[in-house]
Amino acid sequence: MSSSTASPAPRAAPAPPPGFVAASYREHERFLWALSYRLTGSAADADDIVQETFVRALEHPPARTDEPVRPWLARVALNLGRDALRRRKRSAYDGPWLPSPVETEPEPPSFEIPGKEGTEGRYDLLESASFAFLIALEALTPQQRAVLLLRDVFDYSVQEAAGALGISEASVKTTHHRARRALEPYDRDRCRPSPELVERSGAALVRFLQALAAQDVPAIEALLSEDVRVVNDANGEYKAARRIVVGKDRVARLFVGLLRLEAGSGLRHELRILNGLPAIVVETQRAPGMLKLAPRYVLRCDVDAHGRITAMHAVLASNKLTAVRALAP
């Protein structure tokens, strides 16, 4: 007569020590948010990823809470971020896509990486949050984007990046090489938010608003480069050009036409530093018949060495403005 011995039931993971998740949140939340925002280009997605990361830490904590927890948290956030990025890439988007603007004044978000002298690599924290950099990252696959951020912004070693992403070191090296090659157009004319560029961009925006307020089309055109581009991100929520508008004549007339549409809407605006460079935060009061006009939006620009505006970005979609403070009453 044969006998069998029942297999022991799997042991449950030990509960984390009291206060473990709260202490981890205080220490690592800013780092995880910065990583998630650069990975997705979305402040709302970054909020969700950080929240979900700590929910998982509560429900399924790491096996060894006596070891540094940041690598475990980063792995969870990177998985969630890549999934969010893949979903966005698969979904239809109504019109052009732009990153979420975020406040970077008076100081950009900062954090420390234990065991490292600095927190930044090839691209610093401010440049890596700029519109130019985040738009350039759109040319990368989710995996390439994650590898490049870890290696060139957060200064991870090949071994650390492999552990964070759950891939081999050889894959990290190959993916990193391809990501850098895809970013070569950006690298040829990098956007470093220097004090000089902040001053030049802010002056261009102020002159543009003054000329626009006067509805002076020739004066507006004089501030624009010949091939200036306007990109609106409203995601179908509000009235906006669904295609990129190119050329100073078309751009000037577009803005004058929009200003006339907004006449009597109680328009208010404020110049702020968003994503490292000046931007205008605009708020209006909706009136009957104006329901499709955005009540709130951000307008920013890129300028050339002569201070001429080469590109303008208008972010109108409400879910893109979650990290931008409302204007003071």
What is the domain partition of the chain in residue ranges? Answer: 20-112+119-188, 195-320
Nearest to 94 by CA among 234, 232, 235: 235
Average pLDDT value over all residues in the chain: 90
Number of neighbours of residue 306 by Cβ within 10 angstroms: 8
Instruction: Write out pLDDT tens, residues 160-200.
Output: 999 999 999 999 999 999 999 999 999 999 989 999 999 99
pLDDT of residue 21: 82
Report the C-alpha dihedral over residues 195, 199, 202, 207, rounded to 10 degrees.
-170
Spatial separation of the C-alpha atoms in residues 161 and 118, rounded to whole Å: 17
pLDDT of residue 9: 53
Spatial separation of the C-alpha atoms in residues 185 and 159, rounded to whole Å: 28
Mapping DSSP to helix (H, G, I), strand (E, B) and coil, where does residue 127 land? helix
* Region class of 155: left (phi > 0), else alpha (psi between -120 and 50), else beta: left
Query: pLDDT at residue 32 above 70?
Result: yes
One-letter amino acid at 137 equals L
Percent of the chain with pLDDT over 90: 73
Dihedral sign of CA atoms 304, 307, 313, 319 in order = positive
Confirm if 155 and 121 have CB atoms less than 8 A apart. yes
Spatial separation of the C-alpha atoms in residues 125 and 110, rounded to whole Å: 8
Query: pLDDT at residue 242 above 80?
Result: yes
Mapping DSSP to helix (H, G, I), strand (E, B) and coil, where does residue 249 land? helix
Instruction: Write out pLDDT tens, residues 60-105.
Output: 888 777 788 999 999 999 999 999 999 999 999 999 999 999 999 7
Query: pLDDT at residue 112 above 90?
Result: no
- Average pLDDT over every residue of 207-234: 96
Confirm if 96 and 229 have CB atoms less than 8 A apart. no
pLDDT of residue 291: 59
CATH fold label, 195-320: Nuclear Transport Factor 2; Chain: A, (3.10.450)
Query: pLDDT at residue 17 above 70?
Result: no
Instruction: Write out pLDDT tens, residues 244-255.
Output: 999 999 999 999
- CATH 1.20.140.160 matches 20-112+119-188: yes
Q: How confident is the model at residue 3 (pLDDT cuts 50, 70, 90)?
A: very low
Instruction: Write out pLDDT tens, residues 122-159.
Output: 999 999 999 999 999 999 999 999 999 999 999 999 99
Query: pLDDT at residue 220 above 80?
Result: yes
Q: Report the predicted TM-score, pTM, of the whole model to 2 decimal places.
A: 0.90
Query: pLDDT at residue 4 above 50?
Result: no
- DSSP-derived secondary structure for 21-70: HHHHHHHHHHHHHHHHHHHHS-HHHHHHHHHHHHHHHHHS--S-TTS-SH
pLDDT of residue 326: 95
* Region class of 239: left (phi > 0), else alpha (psi between -120 and 50), else beta: beta
Q: Where are the beta strands (DSSP E) in the chain?
A: 224-233, 245-246, 268-274, 277-283, 296-303, 309-315
Strand order through the sheet with 309-315: 245-246, 224-233, 309-315, 296-303, 277-283, 268-274
Report the C-alpha dihedral over residues 195, 45, 76, 157, rounded to 10 degrees.
-20
